[in-house]
Amino acid sequence: MSAEATNPEAHPEARPELRRRGRSRLDLRRLGRAAVLGPTSRDRLPDAIGHVAEAHRAHHPDADMSILRRAYLLAESSHRGQMRKSGEPYITHPLAVTLILAELGAETTTLTASLLHDTVEDTDVTLDQVRAEFGDEVRFIVDGVTKVEKIDYGAAAEPETFRKMLVATGNDVRVMSIKLADRLHNMRTLGVMRPEKQARIAKVTRDVLIPLAERLGVQALKTELEDLVFAILHPEEYESTRALIAAHAGESDPLPGIADSVRTVLREAGITAEVQVRPRHFVSVHRISRTRGELRGSDFGRILILVGENADCYAVLGELHTCFTPVVSEFKDFIATPKFNLYQSLHTAVATPEGYVAEVIVRTRQMHRVAEAGVVALGNPYATATPDAAADPDEERADPTRPGWLSRLLDWQQSAPDPDTFWTVLRAELAQDREITVFRADGGTLGLPAGASCIDAAYAQHGEAAHGCIGARVNGRLTSLSSSLSDGDTVQLLLAQDTSSGPAAEWLDHARTPAARIAISSWLDAHPDRAMATTTAARAPLSVVGARGGGANAVADLPDATVRLAGCCTPVPPDAVAGFLVRGGAVTVHRVQCAAVAQMRAVGRTSVAVHWRATADCRVTLLAESFGRPHLLADLTEAIAREGVEVVSATVEPPVEGRVRHTYTLQLPDAAGLPALMRAMRDVPGVYDVSRA
């Protein structure tokens, strides 16, 4: 496949936003000649990095260009004589990668490392030389981007290289910024490769690099990578989409007219704003064509409105919804609730009198910069770090830009030493396209993928201690561990005090995060007997009956009558009670609030006055509801015995969604001890409620 066929930007009609920028594609052969022959006097920049310097000064007017000059000279001299497969001098590659980052607004340290990113891997330059010339930060970034030796890792070299880069990204997100720009330039020039190699590289880009670009918020790189991958892996669909866009280019486009109407509305409202028409990229057009069917003119782009302040965004929204017909279902507020990748904007859609529906994005200029460049727009996110932390890149430093997904990834990769497992789980993790935030009971937060359950939250918060998780409260209500969490939920996780507790095999059915799945699988592999026990079928109710029955301690005002305490409400002193004569001459005693009292009266049972004996002993039936775990029955029985209470009988029902119900009939030596007994039973780990039957 030719370079042109694999590159959507080779078709001007496919990427009108390039024309809008007014920057033509660099002539790599001319750049290569300048890289080799251009002037390199000490008082001026080499011609080859003139484009980089121009783009860099646009974002950082006061940047020190002498550092870039020194980095370029080292890179050019190191790569001299090396050629790319396309025939250009190799130095054109680091130059092109650096220009991509400079246009996104990367700061000087990133650009310096970008110029040098292949020197340690492909030349005789060492990391010590890089440190001596440019400092620890540049050395750390270059090392993070450098691939591991294939001779050492064999087939595992690619996954281990990504593992190394991700760990380095955990300490410095600029590592992944360079990797993304590096992959973008390689994808732009992939046409010189064999088709099978193009497909292999495109699949890795699709499965790993594009999701990483999305998570780091670098939309400008992500969208172009998507189009390039689309052209290689789905050439027929790509061509049909290109033809669709080309056909639209020859038709009347309603979006410019709608944009003019929006400008008029905002000008009359006194709101200073810049209104643009943003064409959709190839993959976006393809996606909406599959969901909407035949596309109309307004479907090929969106209207972007840029303002100065956050408050102006909402003022614009008010004017749009007042002067046009809003499509309520399309409104999303990513300013009040930013996405997990730093993205902020207001999204809405409005209908015009002509029947067109235009999607509108409203954001400040700073939001726009972050939306396009993501973490690259943050400059140096470690500028406020302490001198010690900045001086020692081998120490993990707190990174305010690190999202929850990266922290999770760095945690679980330590538990996945096998490269195949790491590679498989990494792709599955990155396939999660949405993130939620849940609040912990202690006030902290957890970032989890959409669809995560309480099990995932347990392992995210407690690590391997989550093996002993016995239940959870979500928004104050008890729920099973398999319950899915929603954005904004508050979750309180209940752990057993018994450190020998372990997860059930069915937890794997509800775990979504790699950290949870790896930890559960490892525990089950290490405890095969316990794992088998957790998967056995539900048992019939377990009943335990005590040796003695005990007598009633209520007295009826009916000589020689047998008195029985009703099992439905198990009255004890000093409960208010009522007695009724039943068949056989016996008197049953109920609590007055028992539902059976009304039934007895309704059927005409004879009422008998009853009172409590002077003796304080009594019999009572209690219900204990708990989360299932090993040794629970033994622990409950021990707690009851410690209170000096005798178990007359006990029934344990089969677990339902991890919860177990126990019914105990107990003989108390003193009814006054009932509250203390119930508190002792509630204190048993896993028990969440104890009540009278």
Q: How far, CA to CA in Å, does 112 sit from each of 46, 131, 141?
A: 15, 12, 10
CB 99 within 8 A of CB 28: no
Give the contacts of 263 (CB within 8 A, at least 6 positions apart).
Answer: 273, 275
CB 302 within 8 A of CB 348: no
Query: What one-letter code names the amino acid at 480?
Result: S
Q: Retrieve residue 347's tokens.
A: 């999204």
CB 632 within 8 A of CB 684: yes
Q: Percentages helix, strand, coil for the chain, rounded to the nearest 5?
A: 50, 15, 35
> At 86, is the secondary structure helix, strand, or coil?
coil
Strand partners, 323: none
d(CA 146, CA 161): 8
For the annotated catalytic residues, the residue numbers are 121-122
Longest distance between any two alpha carbons in the chain, whole Å? 122
Indicate the DSSP class of residue 300. Answer: G
d(CA 661, CA 445): 32
- Buried-state track 229-256, b at ≥16 Cβ within 10 A, e below 16: bbbbeeeebbeebbebbeebeeeebbbe
CB 14 within 8 A of CB 73: no
> At 608, is the secondary structure helix, strand, or coil?
strand
Give the contacts of 528 (CB within 8 A, at least 6 positions apart).
Answer: none
Query: What one-letter code names the amino acid at 281?
Result: H
**Measured between alpha carbons, how far apart are the two ends of the chain, in Å?**
76
d(CA 301, CA 299): 6
d(CA 245, CA 282): 8
d(CA 637, CA 85): 76
d(CA 89, CA 204): 26
Positive/negative CA dihedral, 523, 429, 212, 184: positive
Omega before 574 within 30 of 0, i.e. cis: yes
d(CA 174, CA 117): 12
Specify the DSSP element, H or E, that contains 439: strand 435-440
Residue with tokens 């300013």: 335
d(CA 131, CA 395): 16
